[in-house]
Structure formats: structure tokens, C-alpha cells
Homo-oligomer: A and B are copies of this chain.
Amino acid sequence: MTKIVLAELLTIGDEILYGQIVDTNSQWMSVELSKAGIKVIRKTTVGDQEDEIMTAFAEAEKRADIVLITGGLGPTNDDLTKPCLAKYFNCELKIHEEALAEVTEFFKSRGRELTEVNRQQAALPVCCEKVTNVIGTAPGMWFERNGKVFVSMPGVPHEMKRMMSDIVIPKLRKTFSPPTIHHKVIRTIGLGESFLAEKIADWEKALPPHIKLAYLPGLGEVKLRLTSIGDSLPALEAEANMLTEKLKERVGQFIYGYGEDPIEVAVGNLLREKKLTLAVAESCTGGYLSHLITSVPGSSDYFLGSMVPYAYEIKMRQLGVKPETLEKNGAVSEPTIIEMANLVRAKFNTDIGVATSGIAGPGGATPEKPVGTVWIAYSDKHQTVTRKLQLSKDRQINIKAASIAALNLIRLNVPKV
């Protein structure tokens, strides 16, 4: 079997050491490298200080085949990654003509002028290969020496991700030919991690030794990842599919999809396929449910619109909830949520109406309705379905978990035909 390829992740930036930013980059990078068959053996974060950075370079080079660096590429004086790399690889910084053309075009297309500070972003160590940044101004850099590779990328997450996916990972695969690793992600919703684990315990126990299972719990959902190592990709794929079929016999109703697509994509595909339209009335989720739905490209095929009737008077005047319903039951109640779902469906003239109302917190709780109490409803011409959730004490979690539960309610109730 091929040699295991080792990578070290190096993050540069005082803002991470001081805790002003959470480093989410390195998790994403770990996952992508793992998919590519490259093993991450260490993650290191150092501050914006030359000696710290130089030491980290030297230490990482000893341990790993690949050193992936993020951060410290901004145009300002506290950004030291580039001069440090030039020094470490012993070559000068010089304006890179293609990089200069790209950064000039970047500013021009936004109707802004190139300043001297921006111009310096096109200066690169002459011994590196430029890695194009199609959505930002700081180019990445690729260095090779004695069979080891250093890659420097911006710390801005979307710029780094684009660069990794489009250029860095394919180039690393070509350079190192790591072994074949196959991942299959099975996405489940509506069952907690430990309940899921119990239901599939025997299936898990019977997995062959070259296949590993990981539970990846998220908000309201649990992803299962099967990772297999071998030589033949088609054989690994076939084996994973066969195992998935067996899994479906146990927990099929909780599986909403596979791979990268979250629940909002799965629900969108379902609606498009069945040619159904959707409208939403969201109170406690405050726009987040609509945001999830519309974050999917092409969602205008099935999503017509929504209302966020945050205030009582808007619930009545704009959406049309009966004053007596609100007075008698309050906004967070089954009668109100039923009216909301039916009304938004009628007003927006869609096949499906969905509504949310709850106590997101921290204020607004009563002894009967503590923070985290949420009602959701689904309505179509055949039925109206409600569900009461008891979520957490945390406002942000409640907003997100209620939105995801509402999407799952659509998935479970969309007409079969």
C-alpha cells in the first residue's frame, strides 16, 4: 500500500491567539485533506511575530510532507507570512506581473483604484509558484524543496476554501499520490446521536476492519461518515453503498440525503420534483428559515416568499391572525400556529404553508412557556400538521434548530404523489 502522506496545518495570527476569532478554517481543511487521503498530524497556531513563525516553519518541515499555512497575508504591516516565507526559502520578494494584473483587475471591476498598499499584494517570493485567488486580492503561494511542499493561503475562509478545492488539493494529489480513501456521508435528522447509535449498534459492530464509522452531530441532525481505505475506488464505493442499504432497513425514515447537501437542499429538490410551491410565516425564527431556503441557488423555482410578522399587530393586520386567537392562546400556541400556516398559504397562493412561533429567549418566557418553547406547523390542501418543540436556553440555537425542524416537517409531510 502507498505511503501515508502527512500534513501539518499552521495558522498565523494574533487574533486567533487572543481568541478574537475562532479558527474554523483548520477543521474544514482537516476534513478535505482526509477525503484526499492525506493525514493531518498536527495543528499549530502562532502569532504575528517573525521568530515564532520561522520556528514553526522549521518544526513543521521536520514532521510533515505538506505544510499548509493560513493567515498573515493581508496588505498591512502586521502581516508577516510573506516576508517570512521569502526569508525561509531564501529568495527575494518581487512584483509578480500576472498577480499585479489580477489585483488591478479586481479593484477595477469594483470601480476602485489600486493603492500602493494593494500593489504590494502582488509582490511574491521569486522561488514560489503563484496560487490564483479568484475572489480576493492576496494570492496564495506554493513552495517545493527536498520533496516537501509548503502552501500559503489567505485566512479569509471563503478565499481559502476556493483555493484549496480548485487548486491546492488537486495539485497535492498529483504530487503525492496518496492512497485511495473513500468517504460516504449519510445525513440523518430527527434522532439524537445516542439513540441513533443504539438503533444501529449491530450494524456498526459488523463493519469490516478497513471501514471506519464516525458520528458527526450537528444542530438537529447527525451525519454518519463511512471512511474506507483501499486500492480500488469502484470497489470501495460498491461496498459503502451495500452497507448503506442495510442501514436504511434500520433507520431509513431518518435519512434525508447523502454527501454535502444540507436539509434545505433536500427539501428544495423534493419540492421541485413534485412541482410544489412554498410560503413561510416565521415569528421566532425571524427570517432564518427563509434564509436557509433561499440560500439554495434556484430556490425561486418553488419558494414564492415569506412574512416575518414579528409584532402582534403585524400578525393580525398583515398576516390576518384573528385577534381572539392571539388573545386567548397567545402567539406561541397551537391555534395560532395553525392559523399562521394556513393564512400564509392562502395569502401567497402556494401549495404549502409553514409557520414558526416560539420563545427564542432570553426574554419573553412564562412559567408555562419557558425559553425554548416553539410551535411549528405545516399546511397543504390535505392536512395541517403541528409540532411542539422544547429546545434550549440559547437564542441562536433555538432560532437555528427551529428552522431545521420546520424543514424536516416539510420533508415528512409533503404529499406522496
Query: Smallest CB–CB gap between A37 and chain B, Å?
Result: 12
Q: Which of A197-238 contact B (CB under 8 A)?
A: 197-198, 204, 212-217, 223, 225, 227
Contact partners of A110 in chain B: CB under 8 A: 390
Which of B40, B213, B290, B300 meets A18, CB within 8 Å?
Answer: B40
Query: Smallest CB–CB gap between A82 and chain B, Å?
Result: 15
Most buried by B among A30, A59, A183, A213: A30
Minimum CB distance partner of A303 in chain B: B310
Minimum CB distance partner of A185 in chain B: B20
Query: A271 an interface residue at 8 Å Cβ cutoff?
Result: no
How far does the alpha carbon of A13 sit from the alpha carbon of B19 in the complex, in Å? 20
How far does the alpha carbon of A213 sit from the alpha carbon of B183 in the complex, in Å? 44
Contact partners of A46 in chain B: CB under 8 A: 41-42
Which of B20, B112, B300, B308 meets A306, CB within 8 Å?
Answer: B308
Known contacts A41-B17, A117-B194; is-contact A390 B287 (Cβ 8 Å): no
How far does the alpha carbon of A311 sit from the alpha carbon of B304 in the complex, in Å? 5
How far does the alpha carbon of A49 sit from the alpha carbon of B19 in the complex, in Å? 27
Contact partners of A272 in chain B: CB under 8 A: none
Contact B311 A361 (CB under 8 A): no
Query: A78 an interface residue at 8 Å Cβ cutoff?
Result: yes
How far does the alpha carbon of A163 sit from the alpha carbon of B115 in the complex, in Å? 50
Question: Contacting chain B: which of A88-96, A124-132, A395-403?
Answer: A395-403
Question: Contacting chain B: which of A21-29, A141-149, A242-250?
Answer: A21-29
Question: Contacting chain B: which of A171-179, A291-299, A334-342, A409-417?
Answer: A291-299
Query: Smallest CB–CB gap between A136 and chain B, Å?
Result: 9
Q: Which of A299-350 contact B (CB under 8 A)?
A: 299-300, 303-311, 313-314, 318, 347-349
Query: A367 an interface residue at 8 Å Cβ cutoff?
Result: no
Contact A43 B20 (CB under 8 A): no
Q: A286-B295, A286-B299, A287-B308 are in contact. List 7 more A-B contacts (CB 8 A).
A: A19-B34, A21-B216, A23-B27, A76-B215, A78-B215, A297-B362, A307-B308
The 6 residue pairs across chains A and B that have the minimum distance between CB atoms: A287-B290, A286-B294, A19-B30, A19-B31, A287-B287, A287-B291
